[in-house]
Amino acid sequence: MSGNGNAAATAEENSPKMRVIRVGTRKSQLARIQTDSVVATLKALYPGLQFEIIAMSTTGDKILDTALSKIGEKSLFTKELEHALEKNEVDLVVHSLKDLPTVLPPGFTIGAICKRENPHDAVVFHPKFVGKTLETLPEKSVVGTSSLRRAAQLQRKFSHLEFRSIRGNLNTRLRKLDEQQEFSAIILATAGLQRMGWHNRVGQILHPEECMYAVGQGALGVEVRAKDQDILDLVGVLHDPETLLRCIAERAFLRHLEGGCSVPVAVHTAMKDGQLYLTGGVWSLDGSDSIQDTMQATIHVPAQHEDGPEDDPQLVGITARNIPRGPQLAAQNLGISLANLLLSKGAKNILDVARQLNDAH
């Protein structure tokens, strides 16, 4: 018996080892679910590879007593993960795309944008207000949101409500809503609630006329080292062409406006009959002042193709060599054109004031 065991062990030692791809993620339950879904897809595509998930805490996970917009750090949920990428401790990192700044640190790129889930915001109500909508909540009800974008738009629309900051991961925020009497409802991303399997908590989905969403919301981005061609090829097949083009337009819009967490900027995109429609808006912090507009461009969603390397393949931090370049550039130009239109109508002044007020409080 022992002889057979030794022979098996020797055979195992001599067999070629499976390559291990290390995947970085935040520690929250939602981040793990999102990462697990990307890894499951990669495992199905590459059965000859092993995947190891490495979870870590980020600055944004640790600072829970301050509104995100006040921390003044662009890479709140990404910095520690990027350090691990830089030090070659992980090969790729899965993020919520809306957490990734439109300008990435040198040496990094978004190598894949996965198919987007519902990008809209959802309202989750305190148990005693189930069946209500924001419109029918009692006067002076307090609604929790960690987002200036949501608060600015909703204050304008629902002036009978009060909006207060609420921080923490999804589990923490739902617990605060259910167990404390402070909030009548909270606003969360529909995609996150759906990924967690909490469909039954969605009391109302907000349409673009009520609240446009954050740039990249509902999509997952896979960040890699920009020069790691092996890993870029590996993850590139995850690109969803329509999601990619919509998110390039959204990110180009935000980047050209120089927006971020500390100012209310929101978007809505749609692809229809070869047209990409982009609606974007900026708001003052209290929602009283706003500028919005819509533009469209003719863009046919391409199939993936095998393409040779480009000199500088990145557009708004994204590398997609297996998607034709023309539609990507058209999407980027649409975002820049809409940003220029809003700037010509006075968007810079609204954003500057919002930034100053946010910094002062």
Which residues have a catalytic role annotated?
Answer: 99
Residue 90 and residue 21: Cα distance in Å, rounded? 8
* Amino acid occupying residue 205: I
Q: What does the alpha-carbon distance between residue 105 and residue 40 come to, in Å, rounded to a whole number?
A: 28
**Do residues 323 and 241 make contact, with C-beta atoms less than 8 angstroms apart?**
yes
- How far apart CA 181 and CA 142 sit, in angstroms, is 10
d(CA 252, CA 246): 10
Q: Which two tokens stand for residue 119?
A: 């990008």
Closest CA to 233 of 323, 107, 321: 321
Helices (H) and strands (E) in the chain, counts: 12, 13
Give the distance, in angstroms, between the CA of residue 133 and the centroid of all CA atoms in the same chain: 26
> Kind of pairing, strands 121-125 and 204-205?
antiparallel
H or E element that contains 178: helix 170-179
Cα-based distances in Å from 14 to 6, 7, 158, 234: 12, 11, 68, 26
Task: With both helix axes pointing from N to C terminus, report the angle between 29-45 and 170-179 in degrees, rounded to the nearest 10.
Answer: 140
Beta carbons of 76 and 60 less than 8 angstroms apart: yes
**Alpha carbon distances (Å) from 40 to 49, 53, 92, 192, 201:** 12, 11, 14, 18, 26
